[in-house]
């Protein structure tokens, strides 16, 4: 199940360890590699490793056989983008969910923040449990929502503010996604639908670009990372409200 008590860095560390191994790694070897022993030489609780492995298994990033673990498929993406890609595929039911809650991981982001064009939700636990998808699987408790907020913060989707969550895709996250874009220049519609959409939701209920996405792109444009352009005679769809930007070019400058 994805809704485990994980923080994010351990997911990337274990995944990278398995990538570098090239062969199945026994569970005990993972414990020894990632858990420190205390003064009495007794190993600390392995729960954090077990939870991280459960997350990676649910995301179909690794597989298990005979108490050993191995990377499911070598894909040349940074681990945090690979995690988002797999979470997105689960939300769309493009890959089989191992637990009924798993598709909710990105659906929660999409339904509560992106489709509603919201930047901040103070009582996320309450809002999440209003969703039909969440009600259908028996609800999400406070602990699971807290775990979700920690991982989303680590991945760059937003950050925890008090008891709530501020959803603004970080410049670093969007630039990482842009750096994996082969075209480098295209209509905004093509970029959003064919590339950004692989990793993250972006459309409001009215099919506009949600604020958690648009605000960061405007920041990247100000910093010279991307160029956003309006072409009055172009038939391509315009975004960014009155600015009516239709084209994007990735310039590759640092954030």
Q: Are residues 156 and 129 in the same domain?
A: yes
Domain residue limits at 181 = 171-250
pLDDT exceeds cutoff 60 at 39: no
Q: Which band of pLDDT confidence, cut at 50, 70 and 90, is reported for residue 111? A: very high
According to DSSP, the residues that pair with 43 across neighbouring strands are 37
How confident is the model at residue 42, as a pLDDT?
58
Q: Judge whether 35 and 43 are in contact, CB under 8 Å.
A: yes
Answer yes or no: is 88 within a domain.
Answer: no
How confident is the model at residue 37, as a pLDDT?
56
Q: Are residues 221 and 242 in the same domain?
A: yes
Q: Are residues 135 and 196 in the same domain?
A: no
Mean pLDDT of the chain: 93
How confident is the model at residue 41, as a pLDDT?
52
Q: Are residues 211 and 228 in the same domain?
A: yes
Mean of the pLDDT values across residues 106-110?
97
Answer yes or no: is 201 within a domain.
Answer: yes
How confident is the model at residue 178, as a pLDDT?
97
Q: Are residues 241 and 181 in the same domain?
A: yes
Residue whose C-alpha is closest to residue 107's, from 79, 82, 142, 135:
135
Q: Are residues 149 and 196 in the same domain?
A: no
Domain end, chosen from 167, 184, 206, is at: 167
Domain end, chosen from 136, 167, 198, is at: 167
Answer yes or no: is 14 within a domain.
Answer: no
pLDDT exceeds cutoff 90 at 215: yes
According to DSSP, the residues that pair with 248 across neighbouring strands are 186, 228
How confident is the model at residue 35, as a pLDDT?
85
Answer yes or no: is 130 within a domain.
Answer: yes
pLDDT exceeds cutoff 90 at 38: no
Residue whose C-alpha is closest to residue 222's, from 211, 214, 230:
214
Q: Which band of pLDDT confidence, cut at 50, 70 and 90, is reported for residue 189? A: very high
Answer yes or no: is 218 within a domain.
Answer: yes
pTM (predicted TM-score): 0.93
The tally of domains found in the chain comes to 2
**E strand map for the chain:** 25-26, 62-65, 68-71, 120-121, 158-161, 164-167, 185-187, 226-229, 247-250
HSE-up (13 A, CA, CB side) for residue 98: 15
Say how far apart CA 62 and CA 70 lie, in whole Å. Answer: 5
């Amino acid at each position: 199940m994805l809704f485990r008590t994980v923080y994010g860095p351990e997911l990337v560390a274990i995944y990278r360890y398995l990538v570098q191994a090239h062969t199945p790694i026994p569970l005990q070897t993972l414990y020894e590699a990632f858990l420190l022993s205390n003064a009495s030489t007794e190993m600390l609780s392995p729960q954090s490793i077990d939870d991280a492995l459960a997350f990676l298994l649910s995301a179909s990033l690794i597989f298990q056989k005979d108490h050993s673990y191995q990377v499911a498929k070598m894909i040349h993406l940074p681990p945090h983008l690979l995690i988002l890609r797999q979470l997105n595929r689960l939300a769309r039911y493009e890959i089989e969910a191992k637990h009924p809650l798993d598709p909710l991981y990105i659906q929660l982001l999409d339904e509560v923040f992106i489709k509603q064009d919201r930047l901040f939700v103070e009582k996320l636990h309450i809002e999440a449990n209003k969703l039909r998808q969440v009600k259908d699987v028996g609800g999400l408790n406070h602990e699971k929502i807290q775990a979700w907020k920690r991982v989303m913060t680590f991945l760059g989707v937003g950050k925890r503010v008090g008891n709530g969550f501020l959803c603004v895709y970080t410049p670093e996250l969007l630039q990482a996604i842009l750096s994996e874009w082969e075209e480098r220049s295209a209509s905004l519609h093509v970029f959003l639908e064919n590339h950004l959409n692989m990793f993250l939701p972006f459309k409001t209920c009215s099919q506009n670009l949600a604020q958690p996405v648009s605000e960061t792109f405007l920041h990247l444009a100000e910093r010279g990372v991307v160029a956003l352009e309006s072409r009055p005679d172009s038939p391509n769809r315009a975004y960014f409200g009155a600015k009516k930007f239709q084209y994007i070019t990735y310039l590759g400058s640092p954030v």
